[in-house]
Amino acid sequence: MRRAEFFVRDSEKRHLTCHLCPNRCVIRDNKTGVCRVRKNIDGVLYALNYGEVSSYGMDPIEKKPLYHFYPGHQIFSLGTVGCNLHCRFCQNWEIAHGEPPTVRVTPEEIVHLARQQRQCIGIAYTYSEPLVWYEFVSETAVLAHEAGLKNVLVTNGFIEQEPLEKLLPHVDAMNIDVKAFTNDYYRRLCAGRLDPVRRTVEIAVRHCLVELTTLLVTGENDSPGEIRELVDWIARVDREIPLHLSRYFPHYRFDAPPTPLATMRCAREIAREKLPYVYLGNVGDVENGYTYCPQCRKKVIERSGYIIRAVHLREDNRCRHCGYALNIVGEARATAS
């Protein structure tokens, strides 16, 4: 437990308001906010999950998913408990909304562990929502940079502007979930709002590599019209942002049937009209992982699941066929032939 940042007490000190995320929870004494991990104790907000790790391990960077950041490399990944959204189809509800066992660690120990791993580019804060682990992530990220490691956030992007801008100098890449492109969807299915997430993407893209993920949920956010609106907005922000369209399967408190494969392919075609880097997830089709050069349309990275089979890029991440500079950060390397 550690004193949290970003809260304001009321004048009588009976309750306080947390300003970390757009929920802006008003928290009475001895109570927690919506995320369950920030608690008012005698008029001071504490981060209950500081240093509490629910899961950790080495992952391919492609698993985050990040396809344009050090392709073919491994990253030390860890997560905590709690989340500031409540998605009815949450894929990680056991740690986001349950009571999983945790181990207690310090930022120094995490950096030390990451440095001990072979061929590890850095640390990914993932599995549950890293933004409600703010103090621990910030402190660890600073130490990681000092040690020459990269920092990656896999996040829902639901954060206020001030804490976001304070954290971004220590972040190298983000995968941000844009769960849908309507406030109605966010309100009904996630207990959140779209607008703050849009703001996070628009700010983050100026600071680090950003990739986006949208889980297409059957009958909820998968209409051609909504996908077109999403894609038009991404293209206006930066058409070079990679977009991962992921297939939904029933989970947690949602039992609509899996997204039809025809819907996934239709969404990909719509997205490719405006964006050069579009990937499908959870569909089991090898070609969905390929990266194509936006200029000459030739394959530049051939992926099969998390395995990189071939790289057709120069050392400066320009296309080996036509010289186009791709939006890829870091060395790309094949992990199998």
Contact indicator for 323, 296 with CB cutoff of 8 Å: no
Residue among 83 and 241 whose Cβ is closer to ligand SF4: 83
Residue among 38 and 268 whose Cβ is closer to ligand SF4: 38
Q: Tokens standing for 38? A: 């920030």
Shortest Å distance, C-beta 31 to ligand SF4: 10
Select the residue interacting with ligand SF4 from 35, 204, 208, 209 (CB under 6 A).
35
Q: Tokens standing for 27? A: 């928290």
Q: What are the angstrom distances between the C-alpha of 186 and each of 20, 47, 65, 112, 189?
A: 19, 25, 22, 38, 6
The position carrying tokens 């981060």 is 47
Shortest Å distance, C-beta 212 to ligand SF4: 22
Contact indicator for 244, 281 with CB cutoff of 8 Å: yes
The one segment of 16-24, 149-157, 220-228, 307-315 that binds ligand SF4 by CB under 6 A: 16-24
Select the residue interacting with ligand SF4 from 3, 31, 34, 228 (CB under 6 A).
34
Select the residue interacting with ligand SF4 from 16, 90, 132, 176 (CB under 6 A).
132
Q: Tokens standing for 274? A: 């405006």
Residue nearest to ligand SF4 (CB): 33
Strand extents, DSSP E, 198-298: 209-216, 243-247, 278-281, 291-292
Shortest Å distance, C-beta 247 to ligand SF4: 29
Shortest Å distance, C-beta 309 to ligand SF4: 41
Shortest Å distance, C-beta 20 to ligand SF4: 4
- Is residue 18 close enough to count as binding ligand SF4 by CB under 6 A? yes
- Is residue 23 close enough to count as binding ligand SF4 by CB under 6 A? yes
Select the residue interacting with ligand SF4 from 38, 97, 244, 247 (CB under 6 A).
38
Size of the site for ligand SF4 (CB under 6 A): 12
Select the residue interacting with ligand SF4 from 14, 24, 253, 320 (CB under 6 A).
24
Contact indicator for 203, 164 with CB cutoff of 8 Å: yes
- Is residue 246 close enough to count as binding ligand SF4 by CB under 6 A? no
Q: What is the DSSP letter of 278?
A: E
CA-to-CA distance for 243 and 246, rounded, in angstroms?
A: 9
The position carrying tokens 């990656």 is 152
Integer-rounded Cα Rg, in Å, for the chain is 20
Shortest Å distance, C-beta 142 to ligand SF4: 20
Q: Which residues lie across from 154 on neighbouring strands?
A: 175
- SS3 (DSSP) at 274: coil
Select the residue interacting with ligand SF4 from 16, 25, 66, 96 (CB under 6 A).
25
- Is residue 21 close enough to count as binding ligand SF4 by CB under 6 A? yes
- SS3 (DSSP) at 241: coil
Q: What is the DSSP letter of 21?
A: S
Binding positions for ligand SF4, rule: CB under 6 A: 18, 20-21, 23-25, 33-35, 38, 84, 132
